[in-house]
Amino acid sequence: MSPRLQDITTYLQRLGYERAPPPTLDNLRELQRRHTAEFPFETLATLLRMPVPIDLAALERKLLHEGRGGYCFELNRMFLALLQQLGYDARGLSGRVLMGGPEDAMPARTHMLVLVTIDGVRYIADVGFGGMVPTAPLRLDREDAQATPHEFYRIEQRDGQYLLRAQVGEEWRAMYVFDLQTQVDVDYVVGNWYVSTHPESPFLGQLFVARTGPGLRKTFNNGSFAVHRLGEDSVRRELADADSVIEVLGDEFGIRVPVHPQLHAAIERLLEKSAAA
């Protein structure tokens, strides 16, 4: 993989910066908040069963110039490179996703996140966890509830690992487990290959989209578009056809939907499957 971003100026401009911010905790908080609001989580590539390259050149082209988003191996890979070039002490980690499944499961390492150390204090930063992405860095070595601009989160130590929980209503739901094992580029290549190609990948042939905003989250889960506002009931709308989905992707998530001969058919199959479920 290319070791450095080639167009950091455009990246920073997309995040609202005219010049590079100093590597402080306050700026990390702001970078993470802005990133989750600017760059959507989306799985159009895996819906279409297309390759998902994660070298920096491909990521810059897709996210900065093609009007697209991506999933964790794309969004957090770019974010890690940005943090490192801004002078943060940052490195990548990997995790096992538990959300929606049993807490004692041991699935594959299919999630990338970032460890950042500031003044000797360790934080995790994550801009690529879909509809429940933390919108602020979380201090690693504490177990009490931590506020973000959206939900509260908590990190528990468990059997030599860390378990991330999010408060959803009155529940503390498990998101993923991770450890501090050093990761190298090939680890992410392998994880990304599994997510984008393996028949048992939850993303293959599926469409999940998410983006944050002030006091809200927007999500699309196959056929269902939802807006979740803090302290209010979620508002959901089932989309009837591919044209409606494509319109929502552009208008609500800011995605420049790629021209692909199989896109309409893939979305229609997805909606039919969701309606039959």
Which residues carry out catalysis? 72, 111, 126
Chain centre to alpha carbon of residue 240: 26
Distance between CA atoms of 230 and 168, rounded to whole angstroms? 11
Minimal CA–CA distance to 62: which of 255, 261, 274? 255
Distance between CA atoms of 212 and 131, rounded to whole angstroms? 8
Backbone φ and ψ for 16, nearest 5 degrees, come out as 90, 20
Contacts of 245 (CB under 8 A, 6+ apart): 207, 220, 223, 239, 267, 271
SS3 177: strand
Distance between CA atoms of 45 and 63, rounded to whole angstroms? 13
Greatest Cα pair distance, the chain, in angstroms, is 53
Q: Is 64 exposed, middle or buried (0-12, 13-18, 19+ CB in 10 A)?
A: buried
